[in-house]
Amino acid sequence: MTVLLGCIADDFTGGTDLAGMLVKAGMRTVQMIGVPRGPIGEDVDALLIALKSRTSPVEEAINESLAALSWLREAGCRQFYFKYCSTFDSTPRGNIGPVAEALMRALGCDFTIACPAFPVNGRTLYKGHLFVGDVLLSDSGMSKHPLTPMTDANLVRFLQTQVEGKVGLVDYEVVRQGAEAIRARFARLRAEGCNFAVPDAIGNDDLMAIGEACADLPLITAGSGIALGLPQNFRGAGLLPDKQVADALPPTGGLRAVIAGSCSIATQGQVAAMREKHPAFHIDPFELAQGRDVAGEALAWAGDRLEKEPVLFYATAAPEAVQAVQSRLGTEKAGALVEEALAAIARGIVALGVGQLIVAGGETAGAVVKALGVTGLRIGPEIDPGVPWTATLAKAGDRPLALALKSGNFGTPDFFLKAWSKLAA
Ligand code: ADP
């Protein structure tokens, strides 16, 4: 099997972001959660492995990324993509530069790009400087990030602190002339001993041109923006059909449920909207702390109701209520108790016949996916920006589960009501 693109993302939601872009651009994509143990035998154009390596110790990030690369090579991928955040989240020690260099060594290549630009999301690069909206990265909120404070917007200079190789700039004056000029500049930078090129990009046309210029690079390192410009290369080479339905999911069927563990504002509105129309079970952290079998009670309550209509299980609460819980139980303990209960409910309702499940909250989704033993997801149609339906990779003979993993603040108020219509029954 030949897979056109093998991607390694340094965190889960970043991975979903890239996978969604590839699907929209016409590439059938499966996202794996961590490095798989063996082959998966899925028919795809792109494979993506989502790691949790953005802020882990450098050595660990390198080792995991190399393991991911070797699995992707084994799976037959022909070009590789290391995806990081569009705000280049890292520290002077790493992990972007060291991981990129380790991947380059493993692939035997000495030149790649580093381009987090994503203009439609307000991430532009000019003269090597990364802008977030109207301000330099270093003047944006990112300079105060607890784990990866970004205080230098000059990515040529900043990446140089992370790598042994040499970093050069592809100035906007070159980028605006198109792919051929960019390729020529790549050649000149290489001749000057550069291993990394940071290309300026202020619009989608620039991403398309840079993508085209990268057709022959074994490795690309970037945010998800560059993904816009890659499918055209595969089409041009006759490797990807001009038109194909890339977001088709296998039929899942089954009952419908929503599990909400996010307390973000968007999720609060979505919970309120669903409670008006459908049965809803509230999970109280204080009851969990008393040792009550709340998950068991929720499942007993849900039985008949699930047969009739979508059912909501939520721990979502307003900030004052969350604060009260956190000050009495401790933030981590409260989070862990709630996640554990929601994960148990997820396992229980799937056993009761739920086949289509929405989970709200990043950490909550992580806990649910782990409890259900999900190893990978085929990416399907988008419900709202950044949130696609997916189908779990199921063992032969097993029915896949349709899963929508919604980051807390994503989605319109009627998300839990409208999402079902995007799925075949
Ligand atoms: P988001 O994507 O909005 O950040 P997460 O699921 O990542 O959502 O994080 C929400 C965290 O809050 C989880 O750890 C969850 O268990 C916890 N939580 C949910 N409801 C409550 C509550 N009522 N009180 C305290 N913590 C809660």
Query: For ligand 1, is residue 317 a contact (CB within 6 Å)?
Result: yes
The per-type count for the chain, helices as H runs and strands as E runs, is: 15, 18
Gap from CA of 262 to ligand 1 centroid (Å): 4
The predicted pLDDT at position 148 comes to 87
The predicted pLDDT at position 144 comes to 84
Tokens of 129: 């400087």
Rounded to the nearest 10 degrees, how much is the dihedral formed by the CA atoms of 374, 303, 364, 288? Answer: -130
- Distance (Å, rounded) from C-alpha 360 to C-alpha 316? 9
On whether the CB atoms of residues 88 and 116 are closer than 8 A, the answer is yes
Gap from CA of 9 to ligand 1 centroid (Å): 24
Amino acid at position 299, single letter: L
The predicted pLDDT at position 408 comes to 87
Amino acid at position 420, single letter: W
- The residue nearest atom 15 of ligand 1, judged by CA position, is 335
The predicted pLDDT at position 81 comes to 98
Does this model's pTM top 0.85? My answer is yes
- Distance (Å, rounded) from C-alpha 326 to C-alpha 318? 12
Concatenated DSSP letters of 261-330 = ---SHHHHHHHHHHHHHS-EEEPPHHHHHTT--HHHHHHHHHHHHHHHS-EEEE----HHHHHHHHHHH-
Q: Which helix (H) or strand (E) holds 169?
A: strand 167-170
Ligand 1 nearest atom to the CA of residue 367, by list position: 6
DSSP state of 141: G
Residues linked to residue 255 through DSSP beta bridges, in sequence order:
354
The predicted pLDDT at position 1 comes to 64
Q: What is the CATH number of domain 5-236?
A: 3.40.50.10840
The predicted pLDDT at position 256 comes to 98
Query: For ligand 1, is residue 364 a contact (CB within 6 Å)?
Result: yes
Gap from CA of 361 to ligand 1 centroid (Å): 7
The predicted pLDDT at position 164 comes to 97
The predicted pLDDT at position 425 comes to 60
Ligand 1 nearest atom to the CA of residue 362, by list position: 7
Q: How many CB atoms lie within 10 A of CB 69?
A: 23
Ligand 1 nearest atom to the CA of residue 263, by list position: 3
CATH of 255-422, one of 3.40.718.10, 3.40.980.20, 3.40.1260.10, 3.40.50.1820: 3.40.980.20
Determine the residue of 52, 263, 339, 405 to mutate for testing ligand 1's pocket, defined as the one with the most ligand atoms within 8 A of the Cβ atom: 263
- Distance (Å, rounded) from C-alpha 379 to C-alpha 377? 6
> Which alpha helices (DSSP H) does 192-264 contain, by range?
204-213, 231-236
The predicted pLDDT at position 271 comes to 98
The predicted pLDDT at position 396 comes to 75
The predicted pLDDT at position 298 comes to 98
The predicted pLDDT at position 417 comes to 98
Hey, where are the domains in the chain? 5-236, 255-422
- Distance (Å, rounded) from C-alpha 410 to C-alpha 388? 11
pLDDT along the chain (425 residues), means of 10: 92 90 94 92 93 93 98 96 94 94 98 96 96 94 86 96 98 98 98 98 97 98 94 95 92 95 94 98 97 98 96 96 94 95 98 96 92 95 92 87 92 97 83
The predicted pLDDT at position 211 comes to 97
